[in-house]
Amino acid sequence: MTNPLIDPFARPISYLRVSVTDRCDFRCVYCMSENMTFLPKKELLTLEELDRMCSTFIGLGVEKLRITGGEPLVRKGIMTFFRNMRRHLDSGALKELTLTTNGSQLRKFADALAECGVRRINVSLDTLDDKKFADVTRWGKLAQVLDGIDAAQEAGMRVKLNAVALKGFNEDELFTLTEYCAARDMDLTWIEVMPMGDLGNEDRLDQYWPLSDLRRQLAERYTLTDLAERSGGPARYVRLEETGQKIGFITPLTHNFCESCNRVRLTCTGELYMCLGQEDMADLRAPLRASDSDAPLQEAIRAAIARKPKGHDFDYSRQAVDGQMTRHMSHTGG
pLDDT value at residue 225: 98
pLDDT tens digits along 255-303: 455 777 889 999 999 999 998 767 789 999 999 999 999 999 999 999 9
Domain boundaries, the chain: 15-332
pLDDT value at residue 203: 54
**What is the bridge-based pairing of β-strands 96-101 and 187-192?**
unpaired
pLDDT tens digits along 59-79: 999 999 999 999 999 999 999
91: Cβ contacts below 8 Å, ≥ 6 apart: none
Q: Model-level pTM greater than 0.75? A: yes
Torsion angle in degrees (nearest 10) through CA of 73, 100, 141, 77: 0
**What is the bridge-based pairing of β-strands 236-240 and 246-250?**
antiparallel
pLDDT value at residue 233: 63
Give the mean pLDDT of 5-31.
92
Q: How many residues does the chain have?
A: 334
The CATH architecture of the domain made up of 15-332 is Alpha-Beta Barrel (3.20)
pLDDT tens digits along 218-267: 999 999 999 988 765 678 899 999 999 999 998 865 545 577 788 999 99
